[in-house]
Amino acid sequence: MRLTPYSFFILLLFIVSCNSSSEDKQLSDKNHVQTTVQYFSNAIKPDTFRIELQGSKPKEMALLFNITAEGGAPVYAVRILASDLLDNYKESVDLAREKKQKAFMEQELKLFFEEENFLEPAVTEDELADKNTPDKEFFEELRKSGLNGFKYRLGKETKVYVAWSEKEKKVKPYYECCK
């Protein structure tokens, strides 16, 4: 069978279109993961912070956030459901359409590792614990250790502040505002 120039062009167009769609998907998948390296559980060796937007429909979406120590050991993981975030913002942000809900979740992903969310140190020497401090002893440990903290949102008004407890060898919340 001999290919005419027209048949060759159609075949070439088909191959290119198939390849470009798979490349777009790979790029899209890459855009749904962000990582950064920060000093957190150790003042000398940095940890890897990773956030991934999972799912394709807002009802199924979730942000999976984890922190891994320099040696590869996981030290923190939390799954934030898109439905919880979207419910918190539905009165103040127009999220009626699925397209806007997806865009909102993609924006949450992009803003997750903003510089202002990395707290150096987690607790300053002159900070005092208040009613939003779940563990006063841990708060004091952080004040003395000078280790860094990280904050993230669970909703419009709810933020969680976490840091490494050298005493308990795990990441714990040290401040939760404002439920």
pLDDT digits (tens, 9 = 90+) for 49-99: 999 999 999 999 999 999 999 999 999 999 999 999 999 888 888 888 999
pLDDT at 27 over 60: no
Spatial contact of 64 and 54, defined as CB atoms under 8 Å apart = yes
The pTM of this model reads 0.80
130-150: pLDDT as tens digits: 999 999 999 999 999 999 999
Give the DSSP letter string of 95-138: --SHHHHHHHHHHHHHHTT-GGGEESSSS-TT----TT-S-HHH
Contact 178, 132 (CB under 8 A): yes
Residue 2 pLDDT > 90 = no
Model pLDDT, residue 165: 98
Domain residue spans in the chain? 33-177
Residues 145-156 have pLDDT tens digits of 999 999 999 988
Predicted local distance difference test score (pLDDT) of residue 104:
95
Q: Is the pLDDT of residue 18 over 50?
A: no
Average pLDDT taken over every residue of the chain: 86
